Amino acid sequence: MLEIKNLHASVGDDKPILKGLDLSVPAGEVHAIMGPNGSGKSTLSYVLTGRDGYVVTDGTVMYDGEDVAELTPDARAAKGLFLSFQYPVEIPGVPTLTFMKEALNAQRRARDEAEMSAPDFMKHVREKAKLLNISSDMLKRPLNVGFSGGEKKRLEILQAAVLEPRFLILDETDSGLDIDALKVVSDGVNALRSPTRGMLVITHYQRLLDHIAPDVVHVMSAGKIVASGGPELARELEAEGYDKYVRAA
């Protein structure tokens, strides 16, 4: 589903971050990326989703057999790429429900699908919100304004549940979550698992992976993947840190 080969990318024109990264995530699998600060994890998520200012200088990013490196962020989103932000942005004046309805129908229009009516949308979003303990009051508020860290992360997963993307990139979804919120968010992520959907989970901590149980764990350092393994690799990193992988990179 996602096939990355020899990916080099810079912030602007003069700061290389990704330096020959290779990664393959098949449909139906959840892969986790762990690594020290500054290794390029968030840069990878931005490059995959087309954030402005992040430039691919070499290599390919194939998604469903198509090179998406030249597509705009909205075109990538319409094809099913979704990024859950590490730091969700507050947008005063934009109601949460309005934002999600417009996003959903914009993607449906881009795929030449019929827009979802207001009654159908409300039924759809309420079903998804119930799974994440998101109240109707939260949905009426401006997007992320005044929300706690846990509420913002739950709302990110709700957006994914509503949009039903084919590939999710979760950038440190566990940061800022207490134990209860972590369980709720993890349950929401697990509910999105599907044989036709892939996921890339970026995290620093084993505790999230205890709940999500990824198929493969990758270690990232110095802008590339330097090791891959099963869940036991995450437990090793939790116990021993990244030092030997940093030195090897």
Residues 206 and 237: beta-carbon distance below 8 Å: yes
CA nearest neighbour of 220 among 1, 4, 12: 4
Residues 214 and 201: beta-carbon distance below 8 Å: yes
pLDDT attached to residue 75: 93
pLDDT digits (tens, 9 = 90+) for 185-242: 888 889 899 999 999 999 888 888 888 889 999 999 999 999 999 988 988 888 888 8
Mean pLDDT score, 177-189: 84
pLDDT attached to residue 163: 94
Q: How confident is the model at residue 46 (pLDDT cuts 50, 70, 90)?
A: very high
Residues 62 and 107: beta-carbon distance below 8 Å: no
Backbone angles phi, psi at 138, to 5 degrees: -65, -40
* CA atoms of 78 and 127, how far apart (whole Å): 22
pLDDT attached to residue 126: 92
pLDDT attached to residue 33: 95
pLDDT digits (tens, 9 = 90+) for 59-97: 999 999 999 988 999 999 999 999 998 888 999 999 999
Full-model pTM: 0.90
Distances 78 to 21, 32, 106, 132, 141 between C-alpha atoms, Å: 25, 24, 8, 24, 26
Mean pLDDT score, 93-119: 94
Annotate the chain with three-state secondary structure. Answer: CEEEEEEEEEECCCEEEEEEEEEEECCCCEEEEECCCCCCHHHHHHHHHCCCCEEEEEEEEEECCEECCCCCHHHHHHCCEEEECCCCCCEEEEEHHHHHHHHHHHHHHHCCCCCCCHHHHHHHHHHHHHHCCCCHHHHHCEECCCCCHHHHHHHHHHHHHHHCCCEEEEECCCCCCCHHHHHHHHHHHHHCCCCCCEEEEECCCHHHHHHHCCCEEEEEECCEEEEEECHHHHHHHHHHCCHHHHHHC
The larger pLDDT score, comparing residue 156 to residue 12, is at 156
* CA atoms of 119 and 116, how far apart (whole Å): 8
How far is residue 210 CA from its own chain's centroid? 18
pLDDT attached to residue 113: 94
pLDDT attached to residue 245: 84
pLDDT > 80? residue 104: yes
Residues 6+ apart with CB under 8 A from 144: 88, 89, 90, 91, 96, 152, 155
pLDDT attached to residue 83: 93
The single residue listed with the structure tokens 């971050």 is: 17
First-to-last alpha carbon distance for the chain, in angstroms, is 27
Q: Catalogue all structural domains in the chain, each as residue range(s) with its CATH number.
A: 2-248 (3.40.50.300)
Residues 204 and 177: beta-carbon distance below 8 Å: no
